[in-house]
Structure 1
Amino acid sequence: MAADARPAPLESRLGYLLKHAQSKLATASAEALAPYGVDGHELAVLVVLSGDVPLSQVEAAGRLGVDRTTMVALIDRLEDQGLVERRRSPHDRRKNIVELTPAGRECLGRAEKARREVERRFLAPLDEGTAATLVRALQMLLAEERGPE
């Protein structure tokens, strides 16, 4: 390799930047969510289950993109904390419907507020327009990966 043909610094590589930005955000989020007894994965489950239509464990897993075993473990932890409850589907006894309890709704509201504040602080070095553009760009990249819904 020629002396002047040095490799680009890591800080110019997209993968490096995304990995380290995500790690920084995940650490800050974990600290903010700890007082509510949930982590980011569990909060995502609460968000998915908070809709108007009750979901089965399998349906919730599909929306989150996690396998059934992972979903069972997440639901078990949330159920142990009294944040969700399972019940048999009246239409298909093989399905478990999972719904938030009142404590789960309260936890969701408080934890979501903490999550939004962490994201606001994380994006604070960017002006509002740049932050919004970054979020839209990431949404577009993920939408392209998933394909049309």
Structure 2
Amino acid sequence: MSSTDGPGPGLSSNLVYLLKHAHLRMAELTTKALTPYGIEGRELGVLLALADLEPASQQQAAQRLGIDRTTMVALLDALEGKGLVSRHPHADDRRRNVVELTDAGKDALRLALKASADAEREFLAPLSPQAAEGLRNALRAIVIRPDP
């Protein structure tokens, strides 16, 4: 291996570089795993958020995912077009849309979760089970912080 192969010592220890390339690899594996089910990683996130909150308003799901209203509407439009979610006005507040998984959405979520878990196992394969759990815990501590 020549000195120009690989990222080199400077990049190999740079957290931004490592996180970016870890994300790219995980996204590549997830995309490949979800393609047979006709959904993308972001759409899987929406299905997961809705399954946890069901029935939920569009706004609640967007807040849980940390995305803006416009992006949420676009994602829901795509999922609704695929028959995976349905929207209807809230019974008590007709200005709010309630979003629910359809039966097809529940099936897609179940299958996509298995495929996503397989992609995660492939991604984490270079690590011991303890190191993989440590990575998850460390990322959870960084990403999911209680409000100050």
CA distance in 2, matches of 1:70, 1:52: 19
TM-score scaled by length of structure 1: 0.90
CA distance in 2, matches of 1:121, 1:61: 29
- Once the two structures are superposed, the pairs formed by residues 2-21 of structure 1 within 5 Å of their partners are 9-21=10-22
Q: What residue number does 1:77 align with?
A: 78
SS at match of 2:99: strand
Unaligned runs of 5+ in 2: 1-7
In the TM superposition, what is the alpha-carbon distance from 1:47 to its structure 2 partner?
A: 0.5
Q: What residue number does 2:34 align with?
A: 33
Q: How many residues of Structure 1 are paired with residues of Structure 2 in the alignment?
A: 141
**What is the aligned-residue RMSD (CA, Å)?**
1.5
CA distance in 2, matches of 1:134, 1:48: 22
In the TM superposition, what is the alpha-carbon distance from 1:53 to its structure 2 partner?
A: 3.8
Q: What residue number does 2:3 align with?
A: none
CA distance in 1, matches of 2:95, 2:53: 22
Q: What residue number does 2:105 align with?
A: 104
Q: Aligned residues: percent identity? A: 49
Q: What residue number does 1:57 align with?
A: 58
In the TM superposition, what is the alpha-carbon distance from 1:52 to its structure 2 partner?
A: 5.6
- Cα deviation digits, residues 22-78 of structure 1 (max 9, x gap): 101101100110110110100000011113641000111000000000000000000
Task: Quickly say closer, same or farther: Cα 1:53–1:100, change in 2 above 3 A.
Answer: closer
- Cα deviation digits, residues 79-113 of structure 1 (max 9, x gap): 00000000100010000000000000000000000
Q: Point out 4+ residue stretches in structure 1 off by more than 3 angstroms.
A: none
CA distance in 1, matches of 2:110, 2:28: 20
Q: Which amino acid aligns with 1:11?
A: S
Q: Which amino acid aligns with 2:112?
A: A
Q: What residue number does 2:147 align with?
A: 148
TM-score scaled by length of structure 2: 0.91
Task: Quickly say closer, same or farther: Cα 1:52–1:18, change in 2 above 3 A.
Answer: closer
Q: Which amino acid aligns with 1:133?
A: G
Q: Which amino acid aligns with 1:117?
A: D
Unaligned runs of 5+ in 1: 1-6
CA distance in 1, matches of 2:53, 2:70: 25
